[in-house]
């Protein structure tokens, strides 16, 4: 297909004719991405040129609105492409990704540095107080203007050219980083036999059997670096030798030498980010990134992280001492190492709370946990999810749901892709194919969730750990944020909010997983159908903050290293040495590695989404702990009045107002970290 023969108004990648506002996935071909991108980029350039060169006086309509609605075809091909690059990639997609990432960066750089376009936005901005704008439009105009300035609109020609080059290179490096980690994860598997897996819980053995079969070794067991196998294996396996092998492979992803090693990628990325910040007049890259967040400055972030770090280390040290004793009782006198922590922590949990994780799992069927997510959404927000069979999506495992309002009208589309496979990157995330807004002809949301649960062998139900069930609720919380959005402007829709606010709807939603009424109804044993015994629920809830020392240390270490990298005016020359030195300076416990070490820290280096931003989860947690406390104060986890406020000011509001104002509108005041410290058991 040549580029000139592509008609964007008819092509399957840009003109979506599937049911429920979806593309017709069956009609898509991977070969089409590259040429369609080419045509869509050119089409967007033409649209932007028409707005910039419009001889009429700039108005909200002919400039801001026209700009927000431009690039529809590019948005469509991009959203399908990035979905595929993350959730179901292949060699061709990876090749296109490496090529398209810098092209897109160049494209958007050129737009933000288009002097004629910026002059029109700037003119509107200058008279913003006298235009009689509603609050949302005013905010969109202000954010748009700031976005242009932060993207270099006020730089001279030399500065603009340099910034564009930096952005392009950063985009390539980000794509390379992610692909390297995926390659290392894919590459590594340790094939085990029956005797190596003796004593492991059934769910884990069946996940490992499935993983082995997928690698052509039917009848054996694959220990892989997928979190859903790695974490339970290092928790439950008595084989210290195998735990150590897996641990080392896991923490060295992206740092194995050869073509997939990320060391140099990271060094270059940090160097370019520091240069970019300087060019734009910021003291550091963190200062640039934090400028439009709730935290605003690196010192505010350290102000939250530092005290939490101290408390978490104390807590972890206490646990470690107890674990050491427990190991000694069993005749193991080695110090608790990184590959021992989860293992002995689990044994300590069993001793203290008289149950183990594997006891909970038979009650946490994936199917019922999905139903619990939907049920909570129904009770809080009055929306219903109806599964639609026979709709082709990007992979046969994907499930499609229609989302309906209380009156039965169409609200949006939800697609979910639950199981791990080697074409999918690790982790769990939410994104959208289309977002909800009313500007122009408007758009209904098409939202998706990607998970990496171990796929069970045929005819067995998928069972989740408590952590995995939480992840399901978490991503579903993001999905609701996208789904329930009631805003005018595309750029204010759903999760387009400040980064340290965006985890509020997701983390808050996790709280409903352990609301007694929800557990009682949905946590049913997969064999007997019996509800989880009251005694087990109580023990599970009592143990909720157990292990918080470990979890908080591994998280905070990652957040602190991320912020320390980016809060300096100059990039460190040898990032991995810098990582080690930073951890040493912080007094990080040797046996607790960072949750994400630098060479595979995708949040921070596979694109810049969470660079100088990993702290956001904890920042949002201060908000979510306090927000859920509001429900607890009413004595009803589904208090209708509070739920209505929550929907209006948080889940439906998107980025239509300042996050602090939104939170105060819901809760009456801003929170202190107290509820978060209690929630984590660190108070």
For 461-485, letters b (16+ CB in 10 Å) and e give: ebbbbbebbbbbbbbbbbbbbbbbb
Tell me the three state secondary structure of residue 444.
coil
Q: Which residues contact 449 (CB under 8 A, 6 or more apart)?
A: 414, 415, 416, 417, 428, 429, 430, 472, 475, 476, 478, 479
Stretch that binds Zn ion, among 147-155, 505-513, 636-644, 661-669 (CB under 5 A): 505-513
We find the least distance from the C-beta atom of residue 631 to Zn ion, in angstroms, to be: 20
Stretch that binds Zn ion, among 127-135, 187-195, 504-512, 664-672 (CB under 5 A): 504-512
The tokens describing 4, both together, are 């000139």
> How far apart, in Å, are the Cα atoms of 442 and each of 14, 431, 502?
17, 19, 23
Question: Which residue number, 481 or 667, has a Cβ lying nearer to Zn ion?
Answer: 481
Strand, coil or helix: 220: coil
Nearer to Zn ion, 610 or 666 (CB): 610
- What string marks each residue from 31 to 70 as x (binds Zn ion by CB under 5 A) or -? ----------------------------------------
| Helical axes 659-667 vs 616-634, angle rounded to 10° | 20
402 contact partners, CB below 8 Å, separation of at least 6: 20, 385, 386, 388, 410, 413, 414
Residue 114 or 449: the one with the smaller Cβ distance to Zn ion is 449
Residue 658: Cβ within 10 Å count: 15
DSSP letter assigned to residue 25: G
Measured at CB, which residue is nearest to Zn ion? 506
| C-beta closer to Zn ion: residue 160 or 679 | 679
Judged by CB, which is closer to Zn ion: 145, or 476?
A: 476
CA distances (Å), 242 to each of 66, 237, 247, in order?
Answer: 59, 8, 8
CB 477, min distance to Zn ion, A: 8
Write down the least CB distance from residue 426 to Zn ion, Å: 15
CB of 503 to Zn ion, least distance (A): 5
By C-beta, is 432 or 506 nearer to Zn ion?
506
CA angle 390, 392, 398 (to 5 degrees): 90
Angle at 660 between CA 654 and CA 665, to 5 degrees: 80
Sheet holding 410-419, edge to edge: 384-388, 399-404, 410-419, 446-453, 429-434
Q: How many residues bind Zn ion (CB under 5 A)?
A: 2
CB nearer to Zn ion: give 433 or 479. Answer: 479
- Report, in Å, the least distance between residue 495 CB and Zn ion: 9
Structure token pair of residue 381: 């927000």
**Shortest distance, CB of residue 425 to Zn ion, whole angstroms?**
15
| Structural tokens at position 46 | 């033409």
Q: How far apart, in whole angstroms, are the C-alpha atoms of residue 567 and residue 282?
A: 11
From the list 84-92, 175-183, 499-507, 517-525, the region that binds Zn ion by CB under 5 A is: 499-507
The least distance separating Zn ion from the CB of residue 350, rounded to whole angstroms, comes to: 30
Judged by CB under 5 A, the stretch of 151-159, 347-355, 498-506, 631-639 that binds Zn ion is: 498-506
Do residues 596 and 286 touch, judged by C-beta distance below 8 A? Answer: no
The answer to whether 324 and 565 are in contact (CB under 8 A) is no
Q: Nearer to Zn ion by C-beta: 114 or 506?
A: 506
Q: Spell out the alpha helix ranges (H) of 130-279.
A: 135-150, 157-187, 202-214, 227-236, 240-251, 263-279
* Burial class for 633, CB neighbours closer than 10 Å (0-12, 13-18, 19+): exposed
Residue 254, phi-psi category: left (phi > 0), alpha (psi -120 to 50), beta (remainder)? left
**Quick one: which H or E segment has residue 386?**
strand 384-388
Least Å distance, CB 474 to Zn ion, is 6
Q: Which of 519, 524, 512, 525 is nearest to 538 (CA)?
A: 519
Regarding 172 and contact with Zn ion (CB under 5 A), the answer is no
Region near Zn ion per CB under 5 A, out of 217-225, 264-272, 495-503, 568-576: 495-503
- Partners of 446 in the β-ladder: 413, 434
Question: Binder to Zn ion among 506, 552, 616, 656 (CB under 5 A)?
Answer: 506
- Residue 633: active-site member: no
Provide the mask over 452-491, with x wherever binding to Zn ion is found by CB under 5 A and - wherever it is not: ----------------------------------------
DSSP conformational letter for 151: T
**Marked catalytic residue, from 97, 185, 475, 621:** 475
Q: Which stretch binds Zn ion (CB under 5 A): 147-155, 212-220, 369-377, 500-508?
A: 500-508
Count of CB atoms within 10 A of residue 344's CB? 22
Minimum CB separation of residue 242 from Zn ion in Å reads 32
The residue among 526 and 605 lying less far from Zn ion, judged by its C-beta, is: 605
Instruction: Select the span of 100-108, 502-510, 547-555, 588-596 touching Zn ion (CB under 5 A).
Output: 502-510
Q: Collapsing DSSP states into helix, strand and coil, what is residue 436?
A: coil
Nearer CB in complex with Zn ion: 47/417: 417
Tell me whether residue 67 or residue 473 sits nearer to Zn ion (CB atom): 473
Q: How many CB atoms lie within 10 A of CB 124?
A: 19
Q: Please, what is the minimum distance in Å from the beta carbon of residue 497 to Zn ion?
A: 12
Q: Which of residues 560-599 bind Zn ion (CB under 5 A)?
A: none
Measured from the CB of residue 251, what is the shortest distance to Zn ion in angstroms?
23
Q: Where does this chain bind Zn ion (CB under 5 A)? A: 503, 506
Catalogue the active-site residues: 475
């Amino acid at each position: 297909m040549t580029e000139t023969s592509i008609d964007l108004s008819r092509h399957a990648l840009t003109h979506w004719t599937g049911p429920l506002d979806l593309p017709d996935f069956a009609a898509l071909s991977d070969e089409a991405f590259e040429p369609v991108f080419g045509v869509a980029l050119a089409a967007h350039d033409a649209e932007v040129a028409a707005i910039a060169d419009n001889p009429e006086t700039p108005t909200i309509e002919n400039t801001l609105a026209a700009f927000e609605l431009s690039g529809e075809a590019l948005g469509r091909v991009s959203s399908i492409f990035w979905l595929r690059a993350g959730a179901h990639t292949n060699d061709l997609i990876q090749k296109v990704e490496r090529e398209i990432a810098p092209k897109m960066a160049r494209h958007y750089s050129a737009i933000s540095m288009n002097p004629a376009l910026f002059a029109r936005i700037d003119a509107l901005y200058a008279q913003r107080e006298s235009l009689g704008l509603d609050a949302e439009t005013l905010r969109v105009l202000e954010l748009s203007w700031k976005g242009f300035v932060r993207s270099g609109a006020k730089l001279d020609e030399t500065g603009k050219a340099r910034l564009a080059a930096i952005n392009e290179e950063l985009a390539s490096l980000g794509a390379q980083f992610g692909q390297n980690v995926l390659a290392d994860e894919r590459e590594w598997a340790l094939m085990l036999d029956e005797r190596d897996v003796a004593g492991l819980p059934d769910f884990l053995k069946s996940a490992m059997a499935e993983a082995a079969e997928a690698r052509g070794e039917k009848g054996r067991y694959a220990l892989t670096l997928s979190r859903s196998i790695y974490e339970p294996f290092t928790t439950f396996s008595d084989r210290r030798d195998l735990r150590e092998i897996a641990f080392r492979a896991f923490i060295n992803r992206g740092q194995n030498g050869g073509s997939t090693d990320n060391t140099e990628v990271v060094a270059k990325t940090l160097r370019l980010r520091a240069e970019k910040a300087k060019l734009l007049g910021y003291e550091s890259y963190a200062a640039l990134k934090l400028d439009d967040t709730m935290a605003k400055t690196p010192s505010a972030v350290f102000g939250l992280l530092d005290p939490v770090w101290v408390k978490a280390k104390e807590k972890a040290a206490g646990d470690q001492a107890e674990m050491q004793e427990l190991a000694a009782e069993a005749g193991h006198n080695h110090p608790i190492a990184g590959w021992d922590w989860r293992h002995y922590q689990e044994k300590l949990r069993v001793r203290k709370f008289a149950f183990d994780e594997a006891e909970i799992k038979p009650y946490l069927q994936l199917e019922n946990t999905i139903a619990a997510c939907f049920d909570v959404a129904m009770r809080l927000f009055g929306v219903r999810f109806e599964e639609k069979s026979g709709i082709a999506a990007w992979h046969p495992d994907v499930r499609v749901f229609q989302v309906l309002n209380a009156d039965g009208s169409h609200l949006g589309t939800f697609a979910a892709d639950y199981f791990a496979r080697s074409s999918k990157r690790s982790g769990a995330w939410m994104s959208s194919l289309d977002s909800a807004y009313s500007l122009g002809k408007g758009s209904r949301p098409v939202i998706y969730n990607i998970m990496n649960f171990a796929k069970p062998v045929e005819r067995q139900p998928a069972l989740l750990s408590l952590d995995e069930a939480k992840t399901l609720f978490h991503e579903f919380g993001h999905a609701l944020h996208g789904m329930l959005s009631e805003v005018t402007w595309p750029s204010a829709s759903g999760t387009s909010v400040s980064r340290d606010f965006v985890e509020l709807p997701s983390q808050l939603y996790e709280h409903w997983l352990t609301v007694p009424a929800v557990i009682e109804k949905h946590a049913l044993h997969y064999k007997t159908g019996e509800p989880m015994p009251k005694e087990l629920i109580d023990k599970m809830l009592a143990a909720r903050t157990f292990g918080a020392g470990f979890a908080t240390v591994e998280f905070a270490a990652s957040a602190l290293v991320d912020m320390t990298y980016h809060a300096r005016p100059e990039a460190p020359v040898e990032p991995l040495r810098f990582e080690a030195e930073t951890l040493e300076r912080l007094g990080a416990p040797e046996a607790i590695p960072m949750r994400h070490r630098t060479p595979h820290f995708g949040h921070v280096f596979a694109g810049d989404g969470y660079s100088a931003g990993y702290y956001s989860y904890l920042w949002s947690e201060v908000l979510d702990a306090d927000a859920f406390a509001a429900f607890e104060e009413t004595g009803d986890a589904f208090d209708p009045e509070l739920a209505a406020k929550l929907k209006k000011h948080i889940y439906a509001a998107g980025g239509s107002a300042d996050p602090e104002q939104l939170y105060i509108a819901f809760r009456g005041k801003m929170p202190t970290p107290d509820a978060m410290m209690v929630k984590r058991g660190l108070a």
